[in-house]
Amino acid sequence: MHKTIKLMVGFDQRESVAYHTFCQSVIQHSSVPAIFSPLAINTLIDYKETHIDGSNDFIYSRFLTPYLNDFKGWAIFADGDMICKADIKELWDLQDDNKALLVVKHDYQTKTLKKYLGNKNENYPRKNWSSVILWNCSHPKHRILTPDFISKQPGSYLHRFSWLDDSDIGELPKEWNWLAIEYPENENAKLIHYTLGAPCFKEYKDSEMASIWYDTYKKTIEGFD
């Protein structure tokens, strides 16, 4: 296993505080160095976003992960609206060279049809599978994932990993992408995903498991009056 973990993290200017809070949560629990790469749309010079149905700026750029890593090695993608409660090395060590990628294979119906900033929250196959991805960037089937190709594909194709066979997709324990509000509170969750809205949005500041987010947020801003 590599001594340094590569983490590609979804970044949206409208919730930048969530990105920094997530990174803090990883750092404070990690036993090895982690390299963070924010998927800020203004920095992706080879990629032009043409989709108009995204609820955030990184809904499609996550599929650039193999390309951005020169189709070599392994990398983790995670949405920015998360809190890591465990050593990220535990997730990193779940690599399986026989798989193209590994995800939590959620199978649920959402509790609400709207989420943060009034975005629609529809049910669809493999919903939230792509919000945490342990990528085998060197897998040959990922070579198709160029910026031009991704810009031309619909969300249904990308988020369902339609360029892969089902056997190419490994499974992660559900604790590594625990959906706050959608799932019951779980003190054993390793990676909490505030998929309906991070507590930085006023509508979700008192939502389930929000106190865990705020505990990390306070650590992020310590030292300031």
What is the token pair recorded at 126? 């493999």
Rounded average pLDDT over 114-122? 64
**155/59 Cα distance (integer angstroms):** 8
* pLDDT band at residue 125 under the 50/70/90 scheme: confident
* pLDDT band at residue 75 under the 50/70/90 scheme: very high
Residue showing tokens 């700026």:
57
**31/21 Cα distance (integer angstroms):** 18
pLDDT score, position 171 = 98
Domain ranges of the chain: 5-221
Helices (H), 30-102: 65-68, 88-92
pLDDT score, position 114 = 67
Rounded average pLDDT over 110-126? 71
Whether 1 shows a pLDDT value over 90: the answer reads: no
* pLDDT band at residue 222 under the 50/70/90 scheme: confident
**119/54 Cα distance (integer angstroms):** 9
**Superfamily grouping for domain 5-221:** Spore Coat Polysaccharide Biosynthesis Protein SpsA; Chain A (3.90.550.10)
pLDDT score, position 54 = 56
Rounded average pLDDT over 81-92? 97
Give the closest residue to 61 by CA, choosing from 111, 27, 105, 11. Answer: 11
pTM: 0.92
pLDDT score, position 112 = 78
Rounded average pLDDT over 48-76? 85
